[in-house]
Amino acid sequence: MAAARPSLGRVLPESSILFLCDMQEKFRHIAYFPQIVSVAARMLKVARLLEVPAVLTEQYPEGLGPTVPELGAEGLRPVAKTCFSMVPAVQRELDTRPQLRSVLLCGIETQACILNTTLDLLDRGLQVHVVVDACSSRSQVDRLVALARMRQSGAFLSTSEGLILQLVGDAAHPQFKEIQKIIKEPAPDSGLLGLFQGQNPLFR
């Protein structure tokens, strides 16, 4: 009997959704926050071009403030939450999308809401693609270990450009020239080389 084929983690616009987690004013002190938000904004621009739906959450906005304007999330209605996972707050959105297969996940903090959202989504049978250059933490140790933990649990770790090119699929796509403008400049450095260099044992 043939072994079960492992999931390849392909992403398609019609079966994907973009999750934008808690990029709020009071979190500006988090390491690489401007870079993380910049990359998440790229993902949102591409999602809009490819008609990929997007969901935005805010953790306790009364105390932690609104979503930062540089994310460019105008038109998205933020969903307030207190849980350290996006899933309970956006359950209805997930339930109305039976075609959904892949969640592209950006935001903060990696060891808190990103990790717990990932586990909840995996538990629902969805594929999770953590956009590693769009996630961070106050502590880079927490960030590193959380990324490894999500990978151990079955999430895919991807860069923003890797996912964007998977979504567009073909240079002949009618939106490719617009997307090419978005990714023309490389994504800003968010300290990932320091986390992954030296064959880090957490990622073997």
Which positions are annotated as active-site residues?
A: 22, 81, 113
Angle, CA of 68, 73 and 75, to the nearest 5°: 135
Angle between helix axes 140-153 and 115-123 (nearest 10 degrees) is 10
Closest CA to 24 of 68, 57, 56: 68
Angle in degrees, CA 135, 138, 139, rounded to 5: 100
